[in-house]
Amino acid sequence: MSILEVKNIKYKYNKFDESSKYALDDISFSIDEKDFVAIIGESGSGKSTLISHLNGLYKAYSGEILFKGVNIYSNDFNLTDLRFKCGIVFQYPEYQLFSETVIDDVAFGAMKKGLSKDEAYKKSVEVLKLLGIEHLKDEAPFNLSGGEKRKVAFAGVFVMDPDILIFDEPDAGLDPVSKDQFYELIKSLNNKFGTTIIYITHNLDDVIEYANKVIVLNEGKIVKTGKPFEILTDKEVMTKANLEMPYAVSIYYEVLKKGYEIDKTKLKFDELLNSLINLK
Amino acid sequence: MIKDITFGQYYKKDSVIHSLDPRVKLVATLVFLVSLFISTNIFAYILATVFLVSAIVLCKVPFSFIISGLKSLLILLLISIVFNIFLTPGEKVFVLGPISVTREGIIIAAKMAIRLIYLVIGSSILTLTTTPSKLTDGLEKGLGFLNIFKVPVAEIALMMSIALRFIPILIEEVDKIMKAQTSRGADFDKGNLVEKAKSLVPLLVPLFVSAFRRANDLAYAMESRCYSSSVHRTKLRPLTYKRIDYITYLILLVFIVLIFITRYIKIDMIVL
């Protein structure tokens, strides 16, 4: 069943300037429960604007967004409630951290959701444990390293028990090891709790590895949506969106060029390696 | 959200007003503000209106965009109107219990409202049509004579340009922070005054942190490029007056003289 359905939404930043372009132009797609969705596209293609619509931070000019079948723009819809169910982790944790200690900061969202102070702190400790940063709970968030701050910011959203987790470039500025750990972590949340994941990224190699659905944006329009292998091996789509092919796809095409047969649907690292070993 | 604040923003358009020398626009704004406060009767206000309307038309910025900056002024405006209407002694127009509205009160309130609105629109036109860098260039050159009195004009201009340059950046940051906190269930308009003030903490702390970080980065960047304000700097586009600038000065002169003349017109029909 689709948890989120976006229907023909349009949005532009400067409403006074009629000649300005739409930041989002007639966007439609739907996302099922437990999906792991990657939104890709070059800078300025409207990715961040799009995710800000998904929890009602921005209101589209036209079109509608259905959360579990209910239009979020209808009058009696509770937007605050939606924000708890549809948590967004923004790109810069600095914009979110404000408390004196990590635990206070994480508990903020839980208390806003209506938990009592004790419950909220108990829950926050659980979340910090889950993310492996329980030892930081009494530190000041401003003294942490970039990767740690990001985890704290993530904990601050995850503590609200969202059905959908949305990330704006979660891997930007992370070292390769932390990046892999991070993706493994959200993959496990996706498996264990069935949390739907939507994330913006420029790292197409990881899209093959983790996502089960890809949305390609270019100049505020959707170029194509589909499974990672469908999108990333589609040369026309990739050129149109100004994206470079990930390694796995390049290897796939090189192998084809050499005259071998190879399974297009199996491009994850292990799968591709297996296919390559079994070539002859 | 906060991005709706238009006061102090630059609006790119190709118009006569945009192309004027910033010094002319600074003087024009000053003259206009002075004219508002020396206006004593309806003729002066009509003149000021004509002046303002022609500036609005000539600058080609959509009117709706200009007046959207007035929204933030609304409360101040209401307060001053209410106080003036009810607290000015004089001829009573109508009485409602202990409160009475006087004829003088209405007139002063109306004057006050017109002055405030014109003042904001007038100065918005200056900032809407002049980039901050041009504005500070204009100030630096226009006030250059103060150097004789050892006033550090160049430094002041630099500080001003940095301050102005950071306004849109900070507005954008407030917007981002609000988005991040709203996503965590923060609500900035709910509750009474104390609750509202408390709800600003999640907004202000990250804003200060990032503003200090930015200021620090900027200082280091300037330091590493050996910035020093004591060196005489040449400009890429030096300010020079063109014909249109002299014409504008002439119009300004005529305008302010006319305003002065209106002070000597005596009329009884309206006491404005």
Residue whose pair of structure tokens reads 């002065």 in the numeric block: B260
* Domain termination residue (choose one: B228, B244, B262): B228
Q: Judge whether residue B235 has pLDDT over 90.
A: no
Q: Is B135 found in the same domain as B104?
A: yes
Q: Is B205 found in the same domain as B266?
A: no
Instruction: Lowest mean pLDDT of A8-22, A103-117, B4-18, B115-129, name the range.
Output: B4-18
Cα gap B63→A245, rounded to integer Å = 48
Q: Is A77 found in the same domain as A133?
A: yes
Q: Is B37 found in the same domain as B6?
A: yes
**Which residues are within 8 A (CB) of B146 and not within 5 positions of it... i.e. 6 or more apart?**
B153
Q: Is A160 found in the same domain as A191?
A: yes
Residues A33 and A1 sit within 8 Å (Cβ to Cβ): yes
User: What does the pLDDT read at residue B99?
Assistant: 77
Distances (CA, A) of B83 to B76, B108, B116, B271: 11, 10, 15, 20
For the complex shown, is ipTM > 0.85? no
Query: pLDDT tens digits for A151-194?
Result: 899 999 999 999 999 999 998 878 888 888 889 999 999 999 99
- Cα-atom radius of gyration of chain B, to the nearest Å? 23
Minimal C-alpha gap between B186 and chain A (Å): 7
Q: Judge whether residue B95 has pLDDT over 80.
A: no
**Which residues are within 8 A (CB) of B36 and not within 5 positions of it... i.e. 6 or more apart?**
B48, B115, B118, B119, B122
Q: Is B56 found in the same domain as B125?
A: yes
- Whether A160 and B182 lie within 8 Å, measured CB to CB: no
Residues B112 and B42 sit within 8 Å (Cβ to Cβ): no
**Chain A 240-269, residues with CB within 8 Å of chain B CB atoms:** none
Give the number of other CB atoms < 10 A from CB of residue B101. 17
User: What does the pLDDT read at residue B272?
Assistant: 46
Q: Looking at residues B17-39, what average pLDDT do you find?
A: 91
Interface check B209 vs A, CB under 8 A: yes
AA letter at B27 = V
Q: Is B206 found in the same domain as B131?
A: no
Minimal C-alpha gap between B158 and chain A (Å): 28
Helix (H, G, I), strand (E, B) or coil at A38: strand
Q: Judge whether residue B4 has pLDDT over 80.
A: no
Show the domain range for A252.
246-280
DSSP β-ladder status, A36-40 and B99-102: unpaired
Q: Is A217 found in the same domain as A184?
A: yes
**Chain A 148-187, residues with CB within 8 Å of chain B CB atoms:** 156-157, 160
B12: left (phi over 0), alpha (psi -120 to 50) or beta: beta
Distances (CA, A) of B100 to B75, B78, B83, B112: 22, 17, 11, 19
C-alpha angle A238-A46-A113 in degrees, rounded to nearest 5: 125
Q: Is A143 found in the same domain as A112?
A: yes
- Cα-atom radius of gyration of chain A, to the nearest Å? 20
Cα gap A124→B176, rounded to integer Å = 24
Token pair of B128, please? 């809407």
Of residues B62, B176, B206, nearest to A97 (C-beta): B206
Query: pLDDT tens digits for A259-274?
Result: 888 888 888 899 999 9
Going by C-alpha positions, the residue among B115, B133, B146 that lies closest to residue B236 is B133
Q: Is A30 found in the same domain as A136?
A: yes
How many domains is chain A built from? 2
Of residues B62, B179, B184, nearest to A156 (C-beta): B184
AA letter at A185 = L
- Whether A112 and B64 lie within 8 Å, measured CB to CB: no
For chain A, what is the mean pLDDT? Answer: 90
- Whether A57 and B179 lie within 8 Å, measured CB to CB: yes
- Whether B210 and A95 lie within 8 Å, measured CB to CB: yes
Going by C-alpha positions, the residue among B104, B129, B185, B92 that lies closest to residue B6 is B129
Interface check B214 vs A, CB under 8 A: no
Helix (H, G, I), strand (E, B) or coil at A6: strand
Token pair of A240, please? 């149109």
For an interface test with A, the pick among B71, B184, B200, B217 (most A C-beta atoms closer than 10 Å) comes out as B184
Q: Is A227 found in the same domain as A164?
A: yes
Show the domain range for B77.
1-152+236-272
Cα gap B138→B129, rounded to integer Å = 13
Cα gap A227→A206, rounded to integer Å = 14
Q: Is the pTM of this model over 0.90?
A: no
Q: Is A104 found in the same domain as A234?
A: yes
- For residue A94, list chain B residues with Cβ-Cβ distance below 8 A: 206, 209-210, 213
Residues A106 and A96 sit within 8 Å (Cβ to Cβ): no
B188-199 CB burial, b ≥16 within 10 A, e <16: eeeeeeeeeeeb
**Which residues are within 8 A (CB) of B264 and not within 5 positions of it... i.e. 6 or more apart?**
none
User: What does the pLDDT read at residue A131?
Assistant: 87
Query: pLDDT tens digits for B56-85?
Result: 999 888 888 888 778 778 888 888 888 888
DSSP β-ladder status, B92-96 and B99-102: antiparallel
Interface check A55 vs B, CB under 8 A: yes
